[in-house]
Chain A
Amino acid sequence: MRDPNNQLHVIKNLKIAVSNIITQPPQPGAIRKLLNDVVSSSQPAEGLVANVITAGDYDLNISGTTPWFESYRETFLQSMPASDHEFLNHYLACMLVASSSEAEPVEQFSKLSQEQHRIQHNSDYSYPKWFIPNTLKYYVLLHDVSAGDEQRAELIYEEMKHKYGTQGCYLLKINSRTSNRASDEQIPDPWSQYLQKNSIQNQESYEDGPCTIISNKNSDSNLLSLDGLDNEVKVDGLPNNFRAHPLQLDQSSDPSNSIDAPDHVKSVSSLHETKKASTGIIHGACLTLTDHDRIRQFIQEFTFRGLLPHIEKTIRQLNDQLISRKGLSRSLFSATKKWFSGSKVPEKSINELKNTSGLLYPPEAPELQIRKMADLCFLVQHYDLAYSCYHTAKKDFLNDQAMLYAAGALEMAAVSAFLQPGAPRPYPAHYMDTAIQTYRDICKNMVLAERCVLLSAEILKSQSKYSEAAALLIRLTSEDSDLRSALLLEQAAHCFINMKSPMVRKYAFHMILAGHRFSKAGQKKHALRCYCQAMQVYKGKGWSLAEDHINFTIGRQSYTLRQLDNAVSAFRHILINESKQSAAQQGAFLREYLYVYKNVSQLSPDGPLPQLPLPYINSSATRVFFGHDRRPADGEKQAATHVSLDQEYDSESSQQWRELEEQVVAVVNKGIIPSNFHPTQYCLNSYSDNSRFPLAVVEEPITVEVAFRNPLKVPLLLTDLSLLWKFQPNDFSGKDNEEVKERITGEPEMIGTEVISEFLINSEESKVARLKLFPHHIGELHILGVVYNLGTIQGSMTVDGIGALPGCHTGKYSLSMSVRGRQDLEIQGPRLNNTKEEKTSIKYGPDRRLDPIITEEMPLLEVFFIHFPTGLLCGEIRKAYVEFVNVSKCPLTGLKVVSKRPEFFTFGGNTAVLTPLSPSASENCSAYKTVVTDSTSVCTALISSASSIDFGIGIGSQPEVIPVPLPDTVLLPGASVQLPMWLRGPDEEGVHEINFLFYYESIKKQPKIRHRILRHTAVICTSRSLNVRATVCRSNSLEDEEGRGGNMLVFVDMENTNTSEAGVKEFHIVQVSSSSKHWKLHKSVNLSENKDAKLASREKGKFCFKAIRCKEKEAATQSEKYTFADIIFGNEQIISSASPCADFFYRSLSSELKKPPPQLSVHTEKQSVEDAVRLIQKCSEVDLNIVILWKAYVVEDSKQLILEGQHHVILHTVGKEAFSYPQKQEPPEMELLKFFRPESTTVSLRPSVEQLSNLIKTSLHYPESFNHPFHQKSLCVVPVTLLLSNCSKADVDVIVDLRHKTTSPEALEIHGSFTWLGQTQYKLQLKSQEIHSLQLKACFVHTGVYNLGTPRIFAKLSDQVTVFETSQQNSMPALIIINNV
C-alpha cells in the first residue's frame, strides 16, 4: 500500500478478524469465566523438559514457558472491549453476503446495506464500533455449487459488478461437493484451527446475547480469522508472546440475508456457527480443496481490492484533514510493517470513562482524528507515522486534561516506538508508567491498566529489564482479581529468576504468592504447580516453618485435585521432620493428614495397608522375648526372676549367664561343650547375637517390644495395635510348606495375635509397646511390622493431667479420626568387620530376631521359692523351699542348678533323709538335725564320719553344677515338687546377687533345642555376725593317751562383730566341730565358766581345743572320708556330718580348694630338691577344719527369734592364723612395669626355717622339781628323757648335741651350773612318724631353777645330699627346780 506520501509500504502478516455485525460484547462476568477457563485448560505439558537453573547453591527445575499465561493474555486482549477513546478495536469494513439461491440477491444487497447503515448510525446499536463513518462495504455473493444454478449466480454477479464496481464485490462459490459424500472425505477440516480457539468465545457471545438474531434470523457471526495471505514472514525481535498473539483486523461481517434456512445451513458461516462445537467435526465437510482456494482467494481479493485501498484512502483523508486543520504537516510518511489487534468493546467501560476522564470528546472531534489516524497507521504497521501521530495526540489530550485519552495515546506511542524497526528512538518506558498510573489511579480502569502492563512487561522483558518488569507486574496485583494477580505474580517470579543474577528466593516467594492467588482463584492445578516450584528453593535449607507451610499447602491442593499420593507424601513430610511448629499447628497438620489418608484408604479399601509415618519406631531397640510373662510374687511364693523385658541389658551379667550355661552344658556332655552349642537366648535385643534364627516353642507366647517415639507436640493414639506377621508352617499335616499365610486374613488357629486396643503416646514421648503372638503350629514365623489405627485425640485434652490414668480413659478418647496403616520393622544387623572385604566396604549382617522358628513342644519349668529370705546374717543357715512346677505338656528331666556361689545353698546331701515336710510345718524347727545329748559328755567329742562324695563333692566335677534331687528324676506335666533348700548367708557383709541357672531337658531329644534354662537372681543382704579366728599349734605335752602322732592345740577366737542394729542380742556357740581326714578335735581344754559360750555384742571369746590325729587305719583306708568330731556346748548335738551342716562345710571347702594352690615352680633338675621341700613342708601342714555352729538370739517385732548359723575355719599350717572369712586384702601396690624378665629366683626352693624346724618335734620329760640332799651327795643326777618324734613322712637324720654353746656368756654362767652327763652327741635316724626317746642325765651341783632346754637338735632328710641342717625348734625353757632336802 501506499502511505500518504505515496511511498510504498509493505504489510506483512496481516490478519483479518471477521465477526457478526450484531454481536454483543461479552459481559464482564463472562469474560472472567472465559479467562478462567482458558487458564485452567492450559496446563503444563506432562513431559515438558524443564530447564535447570543453577543459582548459587540452588538447582531449580523451571519450565521456561508458561502457556497458560500466554493463552490468558491472548484471550484477554481478544475479549478487550472497544472503547471510545481509541479506535483499535473498531470495525473498518463490512462484508455483505447474499446467497445466490435467493430470489432477489441484488435487492437483498441493498437491504443489507441499509441495515448496516442503520446499525452504524443508529444510537440503538452502540456496540459494534465503527472506525470511520463511511465504512467500506464489500458485497459477496455466496453461491452453493451443489444446490444453486451457476448461470444465475454469474448473472447476479455481473449485475453486482455493474452496481458496486468490480472492486467491491465478489462471487464466492462453495460447496462443490455434495454433503452426503462428505463422510468419505479425508480432507482436513479447514476451520478447525480457528474454531477451536474461538468456539468457546463464540458460544459465550451467543448465549449472552440471544437478541442478536433480531434483525436477521440467520445473523451468524462469521468469524474468519485467516492468517493473512503472505504471512510467512514473522517479525523477529519480538518476544514470542507477541508473535503468538493474533492482532486481528476487525471486520464487520455482513448479515447474509438468506431467506430459507436450509440453504443457509449449507453456507460456510452458518454451518460452523449453528452447529457449534458439538458438531465441530463436520465443519467444512462440503468444501473441496478448490473451495478452500476460493475462500483464500476471496479474502485476498477483499484485502487487496477493498480493504487496503480503503485504509490508504482513509489515512490520506485524515492526513489532509489534519494538515488543513493544524497547518502543521510533518513528514508523516514512511514505510512500516506489522500487525494490529482487534477485539470488542463493552459499553460499560464507556460509562466508567465518563466519570473518570472528566472530558469526553465527541466522536468526530479533531483531536480524535489524529488518534484515529495513528491507530490506522498502527494497524497497517506504519509505526513511524503512528508514533508521531500518537505523540501529537498525546500532547493535545494532555493540554485538554483528557487523561484517559492521553493515557491511551501514551500507551500506544510507547508500543509503536518499540515496534519501530531499527529503533530510532529509545523506548519511552515512562510513557507506559504514566499510562498505567493514569489508567489505574485516575480512570480506575483496571482492564486497560492490565493491558498496558501486559504490553509493557513484555516489552521490558524483551529488553531484559526484568526487575522493572517484575516491579510493574507486582504493582498491578490487587485484590479484585485473583486470577490476574496470580498470573502476574507468577510472571514476576519468572522475571526474578531470569535476572542476570537470579533472585532465587524472591522467585520462590512470589511463586508462593502466586500459588496462593491461584488457589483463591480456583486454579488448583496451577496453585499446586507454583507451590511445587517454590518448594525447590525452600527444601532442605532449614527454613522449616516455611517448608512446612508449603508442604501443607501442597498437600491440601493435591488432595483437592485428588492427587492423593502426593498429598500424603507432602503431609508425611511435615510430620516426619523435626518440626518447630506449635502444638496446635501440628495437631492441625496431623488431622489433615489423617483425613487425607482416610480418603486414600477409602478409595482403595482392598489395597495393601499404607505405611504410616508416625509414630517413629526405633527398630533397633526392638526386643523380642520368648516365653510367658513372669508371675507376680504370690504371698510367700516367689517365682524365679528368669528373664523379662523389664530387665535392662547388662553385658556383664549376660556374660555370667552364658558362662553358667556353658558350665552346665559341659557337665551334661561329660566335660565337652558341643560345637553347635549356643547359649539360650530368651530376650533378643540389639546387644544379643541375632545372626541365627531364634527358636521359639509352640504354644509359648512371643512378646515383641516395639519402641515408639512421638516426635509431635500432640499426643498420638494408636488403637488396635497388633503385630503383622507371615507364617510358613512346616510341612504339617501334609500341607504344602510353600503356603504362605498373611496376617491380613487372620489365621487365629495358626498364630494368635494379641491386640492392644488403645495405646497412647503423649507428646514427644518415647514409649514401648509389648505385643504378643501365640504360635499354635510349628513353622517359620516372620514378624513383619506393626499394624494399627493412627489417630489423635479430639481437642486439647491434657493427657498428663488428672486423667492421666490410662484406665480412666479407656474407651473415652473420642477419636476424631483414625487411619489404619502399618509400619514395618526392619532391623539392620551389626556391621560386619571380619574379613578384609567386609572391612573395606560397609556391610551389615542379618538380624533375625524377628524371624523365629517355632519348634515342637518343650517342657517348661517354673520355679518358686518359698520362705526365701532377703536378709541373713553372715553364715546364717536358713531353710527354704523350692517348688518346681512343670507347666508344659512334656515331662522334663535332668534338672540341674548351676551357680557361681555353690556355697550359698544346698538341697541336702544324698545321705540326708529327705523329709518332705511342708514348709509351714517346719517353720519353727531348727535347720539342723539334732540329737539330744547328755550334758555330762560335755568336753569330749562325739565322732562321726561322712564321705564327701555323699555330698556331691566329687573329685574333678564342677562344684558349681548341682543336680536337683527330683524324686523320680522326671517331672511330669503339671506336676510340682517341693524341695527343701538350705541357704547360708555369705561370709562377707553386704548385698549379694546370686545367680541360679536351672537347666532341664525334655525326655524326647529335640534336634533344635537340647535343653532349656531358667534363670533366677536372688538378692541377699547379709549383716555381720561372728568373726572367727583360729590357730593351731603343736602341743609339747607328751601325755598322749594314744601314744603316737602328735597332739595339737587349737585356739579359736570368736568375736561378735554384729553391730546389733538388727536386734541381734547375743550369740551362743552351741557346738564346735572339726572335720578332717586326719585330725579330730578331742576335747575342749578351755575350762571357762562361760558354759553357754555366750557372746554379746562386741564381745570376744576364746576357746581352746585339743586335737589328735585320727587312728592311722582310718586315715589310711578312707582317704576321702572326713571325720567329724563335735564338741557340744549345749545339750543338743548337731550332727555335723549330716545335711545341711556338712553340705555347707564341703561347699566352703571346695570353694577354698578352688583357689589356686601356691604354685611351685617345677625345675626338672631340681626335682629331688622339690620333693624334699615338699616333704618338709608337709610335716608342718595340718588339714583341720573347724566348724563353729552358733545360735543367735534376735529380737524382731518384739518376738524373739533364734537364728542358727555356722562358720568354717580351715587350718592348713601349724602356727598360722586362719579366718572364717577371707581377709580383706591390701590393695596391691602399684607395681612398676618391668621391661625385662627378672632373674628367676631359686629362693622359693628353700623351705623356710620355720618349716624346717617342724621336722622333728622334741619334748623333754623330767620331774618338775627334784629333791636332792646336797649335803649327803654333792652331785645330783636327774634322769631326763628326750623324746624325738619325726613329724615328716620321710627318714630323718637327727643330731643331738648336748654341748653347751660357748659363745653366749650368759649360757656360760647358767649352764655352767649343770652339765649333761654321758654321751654329748647322738646321731640317730628316725623313720617316718617314729618316736625315739633318749635317756639323758643332767648333773646339778646347786639347788636352784635350771633350764634344761639346751640340747640342740639338727635334722636333715636322710636321703638328701643337701643338708638342711637347721636347729630344730628352739625349745621352750624347760625348767626344773632342784631342791635341797
Chain B
Amino acid sequence: MAVCIAVIAKENYPLYIRSTPTENELKFHYMVHTSLDVVDEKISAMGKALVDQRELYLGLLYPTEDYKVYGYVTNSKVKFVMVVDSSNTALRDNEIRSVSAGDWRTTPGWWMFRKLHNSYTDVMCNPFYNPGDRIQSRAFDNMVMSMMIQVC
C-alpha cells in the first residue's frame, strides 16, 4: 500500500529510500525531501518541553493530488516518511476516525511506523552497521517490501 518509504537521518540526508514504481523514483525523492519541511515545521511547532513526551507519529504531513505523505520522527530525530497512494482509503478512513478520537495507536499508520521503527532499531543494533551509513540490511529491506505490498 505504501508506495515509498524513506528513512532520513537527523541531518536530513537519506539513509534509506525505496519506492515501488521504480521508474518514478525521482519524483518520490523530491516528494520525501520536500516533506521534510513539514516535519521540521511540525517539530518546531511543539514546545521544547513537549518534545520529549511528544507522540512520535506526526500523522499526515500533506496531501498531494495522488499521494498522501505521512511522517514519523524518532527521539533521535530520525525521520520516517511514508508515501501512500491516495486511492488507498483503508488508511485514511481509519486515520480520520482515530485521530479525531485522539488515539493514535489505533491507526494503521501508527502501527506501520512502529514496525518500521523497530526494524530500524534492529539495524542500529547491528554492530557492523556504521551509524550514518546507508541502510543495506536485507531484513530491513524485506520488512519495507512487505509493508509496500501488504494491504491493510
B41 at interface, CB cutoff 8 A: yes
A509 at interface, CB cutoff 8 A: yes
Q: Which residues of the other chain, B, contact A541 by a CB distance below 8 angstroms?
A: 11-13
Q: Which residues of the other chain, A, contact B40 by a CB distance below 8 angstroms?
A: 56, 501, 503
The answer to whether A503 touches B37, judged by C-beta atoms less than 8 angstroms apart, is yes
The total of chain A residues at the interface (CB under 8 A) is 18
Interface centre among B25, B30, B40, by most chain A C-beta atoms within 10 angstroms, is B30
Q: In the bound complex, how far is the Cα of B14 from the Cα of A543, in angstroms?
A: 7
Interface membership of chain A positions 477-516, coded 1 if the CB is closer than 8 angstroms to chain B and 0 otherwise: 0000000000000000000100001011110110010000
Q: In the bound complex, how far is the Cα of B33 from the Cα of A57, in angstroms?
A: 14
The answer to whether B26 touches A509, judged by C-beta atoms less than 8 angstroms apart, is no
The answer to whether A503 touches B41, judged by C-beta atoms less than 8 angstroms apart, is yes
A549 at interface, CB cutoff 8 A: yes
| Docked complex: B10-35 residues within 8 A CB-CB of A | 11-14, 25-26, 29-30, 33-35
The answer to whether A509 touches B30, judged by C-beta atoms less than 8 angstroms apart, is yes
A545 at interface, CB cutoff 8 A: yes
B15 to chain A, nearest CB (A): 8
Q: Which residues of the other chain, B, contact A546 by a CB distance below 8 angstroms?
A: 26, 29-30, 33
B44 at interface, CB cutoff 8 A: yes
| Docked complex: B97-133 residues within 8 A CB-CB of A | none
A327 at interface, CB cutoff 8 A: no
B70 to chain A, nearest CB (A): 17
Q: In the bound complex, how far is the Cα of B30 from the Cα of A549, in angstroms?
A: 10
A515 to chain B, nearest CB (A): 12
Q: In the bound complex, how far is the Cα of B14 from the Cα of A542, in angstroms?
A: 6
B13 to chain A, nearest CB (A): 3
The answer to whether B33 touches A509, judged by C-beta atoms less than 8 angstroms apart, is yes
B36 at interface, CB cutoff 8 A: yes
Q: Which residues of the other chain, A, contact B44 by a CB distance below 8 angstroms?
A: 501
Q: In the bound complex, how far is the Cα of B26 from the Cα of A57, in angstroms?
A: 23
B146 to chain A, nearest CB (A): 23
Chain B contact surface mostly: helix
Q: In the bound complex, how far is the Cα of B38 from the Cα of A505, in angstroms?
A: 9
Interface centre among A56, A501, A504, A505, by most chain B C-beta atoms within 10 angstroms, is A505
A121 to chain B, nearest CB (A): 51
Chain A contact surface mostly: helix
| Docked complex: A49-97 residues within 8 A CB-CB of B | 56-57
Task: Tell me the nearest residue of chain B to A540, going by C-beta.
Answer: B13
Which one of A57, A542, A545 contacts B25 once the chains associate, using CB atoms below 8 Å?
A545
Q: Which residues of the other chain, B, contact A543 by a CB distance below 8 angstroms?
A: 13-14, 29, 33
Q: In the bound complex, how far is the Cα of B30 from the Cα of A543, in angstroms?
A: 9
Q: In the bound complex, how far is the Cα of B38 from the Cα of A506, in angstroms?
A: 9
The answer to whether A505 touches B33, judged by C-beta atoms less than 8 angstroms apart, is yes
Question: A501-B41, A505-B36 in contact; A57/B29 too (CB < 8 A)?
Answer: no
Q: Which residues of the other chain, A, contact B33 by a CB distance below 8 angstroms?
A: 505, 508-509, 538, 543, 546
The answer to whether B37 touches A504, judged by C-beta atoms less than 8 angstroms apart, is yes
Q: Which residues of the other chain, B, contact A542 by a CB distance below 8 angstroms?
A: 9, 13-14
Q: In the bound complex, how far is the Cα of B25 from the Cα of A505, in angstroms?
A: 17
Q: Which residues of the other chain, A, contact B25 by a CB distance below 8 angstroms?
A: 545
B117 to chain A, nearest CB (A): 21
A489 to chain B, nearest CB (A): 13
Which one of B9, B12, B37 contacts A506 once the chains associate, using CB atoms below 8 Å?
B37
| Docked complex: A1022-1061 residues within 8 A CB-CB of B | none
A1066 to chain B, nearest CB (A): 61
Task: Tell me the nearest residue of chain B to A512, going by C-beta.
Answer: B30
Q: Which residues of the other chain, B, contact A505 by a CB distance below 8 angstroms?
A: 33-37
Q: Which residues of the other chain, A, contact B36 by a CB distance below 8 angstroms?
A: 505
| Docked complex: A521-559 residues within 8 A CB-CB of B | 538, 541-543, 545-546, 549
Task: Tell me the nearest residue of chain A to B25, going by C-beta.
Answer: A545
Q: In the bound complex, how far is the Cα of B41 from the Cα of A543, in angstroms?
A: 20
Task: Tell me the nearest residue of chain A to B134, going by C-beta.
Answer: A542
Q: In the bound complex, how far is the Cα of B40 from the Cα of A549, in angstroms?
A: 25
A901 to chain B, nearest CB (A): 47
Task: Tell me the nearest residue of chain A to B39, going by C-beta.
Answer: A505
Q: In the bound complex, how far is the Cα of B29 from the Cα of A538, in angstroms?
A: 11
The answer to whether A545 touches B34, judged by C-beta atoms less than 8 angstroms apart, is no
| Docked complex: B38-59 residues within 8 A CB-CB of A | 38, 40-41, 44
Q: In the bound complex, how far is the Cα of B108 from the Cα of A502, in angstroms?
A: 32
A56 to chain B, nearest CB (A): 7
Q: In the bound complex, how far is the Cα of B36 from the Cα of A914, in angstroms?
A: 90
Interface centre among A496, A501, A512, A542, by most chain B C-beta atoms within 10 angstroms, is A542
Q: In the bound complex, how far is the Cα of B30 from the Cα of A512, in angstroms?
A: 10
Q: In the bound complex, how far is the Cα of B33 from the Cα of A504, in angstroms?
A: 10
The answer to whether A509 touches B14, judged by C-beta atoms less than 8 angstroms apart, is no
Q: In the bound complex, how far is the Cα of B37 from the Cα of A57, in angstroms?
A: 13
B136 to chain A, nearest CB (A): 12
Q: In the bound complex, how far is the Cα of B34 from the Cα of A538, in angstroms?
A: 11
Task: Tell me the nearest residue of chain A to B9, going by C-beta.
Answer: A542
Task: Tell me the nearest residue of chain A to B36, going by C-beta.
Answer: A505
| Docked complex: A321-374 residues within 8 A CB-CB of B | none
Q: In the bound complex, how far is the Cα of B54 from the Cα of A148, in angstroms?
A: 88
Q: In the bound complex, how far is the Cα of B37 from the Cα of A506, in angstroms?
A: 7
Q: In the bound complex, how far is the Cα of B34 from the Cα of A504, in angstroms?
A: 8
Q: Which residues of the other chain, B, contact A496 by a CB distance below 8 angstroms?
A: 37
| Docked complex: B60-94 residues within 8 A CB-CB of A | none
Task: Tell me the nearest residue of chain A to B11, going by C-beta.
Answer: A57
Question: A56-B40, A543-B29, A546-B26 in contact; A509/B34 too (CB < 8 A)?
Answer: yes
22 contacts between A and B (CB under 8 A): A56-B12, A57-B11, A501-B40, A501-B41, A503-B37, A503-B40, A504-B37, A505-B37, A506-B34, A508-B33, A508-B34, A509-B34, A512-B30, A538-B33, A541-B11, A541-B12, A542-B9, A542-B13, A543-B13, A543-B29, A546-B33, A549-B26
Apart from A503-B41, A505-B34, what are 18 other A-B pairs with CB-CB below 8 Å? A501-B41, A501-B44, A503-B38, A503-B40, A505-B33, A505-B36, A506-B37, A509-B30, A512-B30, A541-B11, A542-B9, A542-B13, A542-B14, A543-B13, A543-B14, A545-B29, A546-B29, A546-B30
Please name the 7 residue pairs, one residue from A and one from B, whose CB atoms are nearest each other, closest first: A542-B13, A503-B37, A509-B34, A505-B37, A506-B37, A545-B29, A541-B13
Instruction: List residues of A whose CB falls within 8 A of some B CB.
Output: 56-57, 496, 501, 503-506, 508-509, 512, 538, 541-543, 545-546, 549
